[in-house]
Amino acid sequence: MTPEQLAHAITAALQAAVDAGEISVEVPDEVRVERPKDRNHGDWASNVALQLAKKAGMNPRQLAEVVAEHLRRAEGVAAVDIAGPGFLNITLDAASAGELARTIVEAADTYGSNDALVGHTVNVEFISANPTGHLHVGHTRWAALGDSMRRLLAASGADVTAEYYINDAGTQMDRFGESVLAAALGEPTPEGGYPGEYVQELGQKVLAERPDLAGLPRQEAITAARDLGYPLMLGMIQQTLQNFGVHFDVWFSEQSLHDSGQVDQAIARLREQGHVYDADGAIWLRTTDFSDDKDRVLVRSNGEHTYFASDAAYYLSKKDRGFTEKIYLLGADHHGYVNRLKAISAAAGDDPEQNIEIRIGQLISINGAKLSKRAGNVVDLDDMLEWIGADAIRYSLARYPADTPLSLDGDELRKQTNDNPVFYVQYAHARTANVSRLAAADGVHREDGFDPSLLAHETEATLLAALGDFPRVVAQAAELREPHRVARYLEGLAGSFHKWYDACRVRPRDGEEVTDLHRSRLWLNEATGTVLRRGLDLLGVSAPERM
């Protein structure tokens, strides 16, 4: 019995009590169950009696007793006890609990998927670094968490699009062009320009494409160097993210907003809404109407658009493309963006509490990381991937809430010991794969038999309960935008599996006949491997079969 099936059984028990005239209350469409903190209190618990008691005009314990009487008759339920003020503590019979192993194996990599966010159309924007240099340690946190968030939202039924906003407009691109041109012509890096070996490499590639650079007028040469160097730099960023396992559905150019006239169109639309005004020769958005600390300039007195104007046009672009929910994942230095982005949402006619969500990620540091000569005076993500590996970085970043400062020890992340959480979880998966290989060699095959009632050992009950909790963890992590809940769950699951492995044999001992107990345990072993693999994938981490 899965938690969903048990929830349906509780709903049916409520309805039976209503039909019998024992209680008078509207039966909810959904009832939630969760694992009790103390396994001695049963396999699952529900507080539905506490939730409905007031509406039913009954004491919670009294209502719980009525529901429990009907629930005890449900197939697969071994016992229902009342605890505290009215909690239902439910114990499943061994066969019903063990049947979950077959459910998981047959569901394969769809297990854990749920419908918590069905009907939600979500745009998740993260990283959005300038295409003027390599990605560095400051970009890694949202690269890892943003991609995991995308995976979790999709697993929970949302129609989700991951988007990279390319900041390819403005003065930083001109400085980039000047830097590439200087490198191409053998000149020193200009003041305020971009250093690093990668700029020298770009300069040589640009010069190979345009050997006439030296003879062009200076501004024309800068523009040519910028336009040729930009796609090369963007390609390097995209390759780094691919190596990091991060996927984007859309690469959206800021410059395209200007080239297509969308920035001016956005200003006109906001003016029609009554929120744009002219003052001191500039054009302003009255964001103070929406709790911002000051109004924001859209067009300066010299006629230049501000970055804020691009932000407004970009928000309207997302809205026009049908994204009712827009999630912005911003760096620690972007706290000031929260109110102004919410003000744009409100000025556009949206509900800032529903249509836009802004998350701020705190800084991280990697102890022992060396500054990159290739990228300049920064810790380069490519170097980190070569040194530590994508799996260790992604998993370690996923273990903590994004709003907590984080310092990681690179040498510790490389260790293959149980003290290293990513190794601990990956090793659990590799162990499930090894058990399956050796069991097959011993003649233990799932298709030859399965008796879920045999999965009655204490460690099996604990392991099955943990496996059954996976869909709830996925749904909650997606709804709260907190991938760390999956990582911590996987570590608990790995611990339960290792204890089960030590206590229960899947393979027969020498000379022992293969029985349904061995086969049933093989189902449980492979169900565990399925969930470990699925959970790691949601974090963008591989699940090796040999370690």
Amino acid 2: pLDDT: 82
Strand partners, 80: 90
Name the CATH superfamily for 417-538.
Answer: Isoleucyl-tRNA Synthetase; Domain 1 (1.10.730.10)
Q: What are phi and psi of 427, to 5 degrees?
A: -65, -35
Amino acid 93: pLDDT: 87
Contact 190, 178 (CB under 8 A): yes
Contacts of residue 211, defined as CB under 8 A and 6 or more positions apart, other chains included, come to none
Strand partners, 372: 378
Which CATH number is correct for 3-92, 3.50.50.60, 2.60.40.10, 3.30.1360.70, 1.10.760.10? Answer: 3.30.1360.70
The 3-class secondary structure across 339-369, one letter per residue, is HHHHHHHHHCCCCCCCCEEEEECCCEEEECC
Q: What are phi and psi of 347, to 5 degrees?
A: -65, -30
Exposed e or buried b per residue across 462-476, where buried means at least 16 C-beta atoms within 10 angstroms of its C-beta: bbbbbbbbbbbbbbb
Contacts of residue 76, defined as CB under 8 A and 6 or more positions apart, other chains included, come to 1, 5, 9, 92, 93, 95, 96, 97, 99
CA 354/CA 517 separation, integer angstroms: 51
Amino acid 371: pLDDT: 56
pTM above 0.85, yes or no: yes
| Domain definitions of the chain by residue range | 3-92, 417-538
CA 223/CA 240 separation, integer angstroms: 26
Amino acid 380: pLDDT: 86
Amino acid 374: pLDDT: 58
**Alpha helix ranges (H) inside 156-294:** 171-185, 197-209, 218-243, 254-259, 262-272
Amino acid 373: pLDDT: 54
CA 315/CA 352 separation, integer angstroms: 12
**Of 190, 263, 261, which is closest to residue 226 (Cα–Cα)?**
190
Contact 150, 247 (CB under 8 A): yes
Q: Which tokens belong to 267?
A: 């200003």
Amino acid 317: pLDDT: 98
Tell me the average confidence (pLDDT) per consecutive run of 10 residues in the chain, 547 residues long: 88 94 90 82 90 92 94 92 93 89 96 96 94 90 95 98 95 95 96 92 97 96 97 97 97 97 97 95 95 94 96 97 96 86 95 96 80 65 92 95 89 90 97 97 94 94 93 96 97 97 94 94 98 98 96
Amino acid 198: pLDDT: 93
Exposed e or buried b per residue across 417-439, where buried means at least 16 C-beta atoms within 10 angstroms of its C-beta: eeebbbbbbbbbbbbbbbbbeeb
> How large is the greatest C-alpha to C-alpha distance in the chain, in angstroms?
93
Amino acid 276: pLDDT: 96
Contact 240, 135 (CB under 8 A): yes
Q: Which tokens belong to 304?
A: 């230049």
Q: Which amino acid is at 330?
A: L
